[in-house]
Amino acid sequence: MRTLLEKGREVLWTLAPVVILVLILIVTVVEVNGDIFWRFVIGSCLLLFGLSIFLWGIDLSMNAIGALMAEEVATSRHLAKILIMGFLLGFLITVAEPDLLILGSQIEQASGGEMRALLFVYVVSCGVGITVAFGLWRLLKDRMRFGTFMAILYVIILALALFVSEEFLAIAVDASGATTGALTTPFALALTLGLASLKGGKYAEENAFGLVGVMSAGPILAILCMSLFTGEQHIYAVADAFTVETGILAPILAVVPKTLVESVLALTPIASLFFLFNGFKFKISRTRFLPIIAGLALTVFGLVLFLTGVHAGFLDMGRIIGQQIAAIDWRLLIAVGFFLGMIVVLMEPAVHVLGSQIEEVTAGHIPIRLIKVTLSLGVAIAIALSMVRIIVPAVKLHYFLIPGFTLALLFSFASDPVFTAIAYDAGGVASGPMTATFVLAFAQGAASIIPTADVMSDGFGVIAMVAMAPVLSLNALGTYVAYKRRKSAKLAFKEEEPTTLRPIARTGEHVCIIVDLIRGRSDEVVALARSVGAQGATILHGRGGDDQAIVKIPFIGVEVLPEREVVMIVTDEACAERVFSCLHAHPDLQARLSGIFCEALMKRYPTPQ
C-alpha cells in the first residue's frame, strides 16, 4: 500500500498542471457545457487512480518478466537464437499495442480502406521485430556502440524519406510513437536493464537504455519501405464530423468495455510468452510467480482506468479547446500548444517508468528533474511548431523532421553516451496515449476551424513532431554535458600539482597505484602499465568528482556528476615506479595518480606464483 501511495503522490504532481491549465482556459476564454466539464473532472480522477495502479503493477510484473527474459536472451550463445528471440519479443509486444491498433484504424479510414489496419499493424510489428533482433545482437556481442548503431538506422531512414510523400512520412513517424505505448515501453526498459546488468562492463549504464529507441526506428523503416515497394504515395483523408456526446456517466461507462478489450489484448502476447517460457524453462517458485500474476492484473486494471479517463474525459475537452482557441487568435493557439506540451508529456505513463530506471541505473547522479525539464521544453516547442504547420499551409512536416533528426544524429556523436541512449528511449515514451488523444484532439480541433488545414494529415504530424523532439533535445543536452565535462577535466588537470611516488625502501613491498580517470580512458592506462611490466589491473566504474568536475546546468539549477573510472594496479616497487613515470609522461590522459603501500594486503592475499 505504501508503494501505491508513493505512486499516487508522484502522479498527482504531474496531473495537477494539466487540470489547472484547462480550468484557467475555461474560466478565461473557453466555453464548455456542464456535461463535458464534469466528464473532464471524473476523467482526471480516473487518470490519477489508474496511472498509480498501473505503475504499481508494472513494478510487480513487467520488471520481473523483463529480467527473466533478459537472462534467457543473454545466455544464448548462438546468433540465430538471439535473432529469433529478439524478433519474437519485438513482434509479440507490438502486434496488440492499443495505440498502434487505434492508429491503424485511423489510417484505414483516412485511406478509404485502401490500406488495411491489420496489414499496417503487421508491417509495423515486423519492422519492430527486425530492429529489436539486431539491437539485442549489438548489445550482447559488442559489435558497435549504441550511437553508431542508431546513426546507421537513421541515415537509412533519412535517405528513404527523400523518396516518399509527406503523408507517409508523417504516418511512419506516428507509427513509431504509437508502437512504444503504455505496455510495450515498460517491458522493453525492463528487458534492457536486465541484459545490461547481466552483461556488465564499462558500458553498463548506457546499455541499460536504448531498446525503446531501437523499437521506434523499426516502424519508420517498415512503413517507408512499404510505401516504396507498393508505389502508394498519397492518402486522401475525409474527417468525420465532430459531435459532442451528452450525459456524464453514460459516455464514460460506454468506453469501459472497449478499453478493457484493448488492455487485455495488449497484455496477452507478453503474458503468454512468459507463461510459455515459465512452463518449459524458468519454472520459478510460487512465491515469485504469484506477485507477477497480481502485477499483471493490477497493470490491466490500472490501464483500463487510465484509458477510460483519457477517452471519456479528455478527448472532447481537447477538441473543444483547440477549436475555440483557433477561432480566437492564431498566436494564442501557438502559446497554448507550447504550455500544453510542457505539461502533457509528464503525464505519459512510460515517462514515469523511464524516470525510475534512470534513477536506478545512475544511482541518482543524472537528476530526473533535468530529464523531465528537457523533455517538457522539447515537446512544448514541437507542439508549438505543429500549430504553426496547421496555421501556415506552406510549412511542411519534413521541414522539421529531416533537419531535426539530422541534428540529433550529429549531436549523438559528441554527446555523453548515456544521454544518447536515454534520448532515443525518450522519443518513444513521449508520444504515448496522452499525446495520441488529448494533444491530437487539440490539434484536430484547431485544424477543423482553420480553412487551409487538413484534419487527418496535420493530426498525424503532431505525433511525429513529439516523437522527434526528445531525441533532439536530450542529445543536445548530452553534448553540452560532455563539452562542459571535458573542459572542466582539462582545467582541473592543468591546475593540479604533479604527483610523484615517495621514496620506497627496498624491502620487497608491493604498491597499489590508483589512477583516477575520466570515462573511457582505462584501457589506455592498462596498456601503458602492461608495456612496462605490470601484470594486470582492476577497473572500477562510477560517478563522482570534485566541485570543479561537476557539470552545472544553468537556469534549471541541477548538477550532473561525471562518470569516472578508477584503475588499481598492484605490482612490485620497481615496476610501480616505471608505471608511475610512464603515466606521468602522458598528460593527455588527465589522470590523477596516487601511490598506496599494500604490503599488509599482499601478505594476506599473496600474488600467485
Helical packing angle, 184-199 and 62-74, nearest 10°:
50
CA distance 333 to 384: 8
- CB of 472 closer than 8 Å to CB of 378: yes
Other beta carbons within 10 angstroms of residue 155's beta carbon come to 13
pTM (two decimals)? 0.72
Residue intervals in the chain for CATH 3.30.70.120: 510-604
Other beta carbons within 10 angstroms of residue 517's beta carbon come to 21
- CB of 465 closer than 8 Å to CB of 383: yes
467-502 burial, b if ≥16 CB within 10 A, otherwise e?
A: bbbbbbbbbbbbbbbbebbeebbeebeeeeeeeebe
In DSSP notation, 505-535 reads -SS--EEEEEEEEETT-HHHHHHHHHHTT--
Q: What is the pLDDT of residue 338?
A: 92
- CB of 489 closer than 8 Å to CB of 589: no
Tell me the mean pLDDT per 10 residues along the chain, length 609.
76 78 86 86 88 84 81 77 84 75 67 71 89 86 78 87 78 78 75 77 72 86 85 57 72 86 81 87 88 91 85 80 87 90 78 77 74 87 90 84 87 84 82 72 84 71 83 87 71 47 48 74 79 78 59 59 74 77 68 52 44
Q: Is 414 exposed, middle or buried (0-12, 13-18, 19+ CB in 10 A)?
A: middle
384-402 burial, b if ≥16 CB within 10 A, otherwise e?
A: bbbbebbbeeeeebbebbb
CA distance 235 to 171: 10
Residue bearing cell 515498460: 186
Q: What is the pLDDT of residue 381?
A: 92
CA distance 497 to 42: 65
CA distance 129 to 95: 10
Q: What is the pLDDT of residue 591?
A: 58
Backbone angles phi, psi at 469, to 5 degrees: -60, -50
Closest CA to 429 of 213, 268, 269: 213
CA distance 22 to 30: 9
Q: What is the pLDDT of residue 293?
A: 92
Other beta carbons within 10 angstroms of residue 7's beta carbon come to 22
Closest CA to 428 of 228, 1, 128: 128
Give the largest Cα separation in the chain, rounded: 93
284-300 burial, b if ≥16 CB within 10 A, otherwise e?
A: eeeeebeebeebbebbb
Residue bearing cell 596516487: 594
Closest CA to 48 of 94, 85, 84, 15: 15
CA angle in degrees (0–180, nearest 5) for 509-515-519: 155
Residue 243 C-beta-side C-alpha neighbours within 13 Å: 6
CA distance 584 to 501: 11
Domain 510-604 CATH (choose: 3.30.70.120, 3.90.1200.10, 3.40.50.2020, 2.60.120.620): 3.30.70.120
Name, in order, each residue with C-beta under 8 angstroms of 231's C-beta and a sequence gap of 6 or more: none
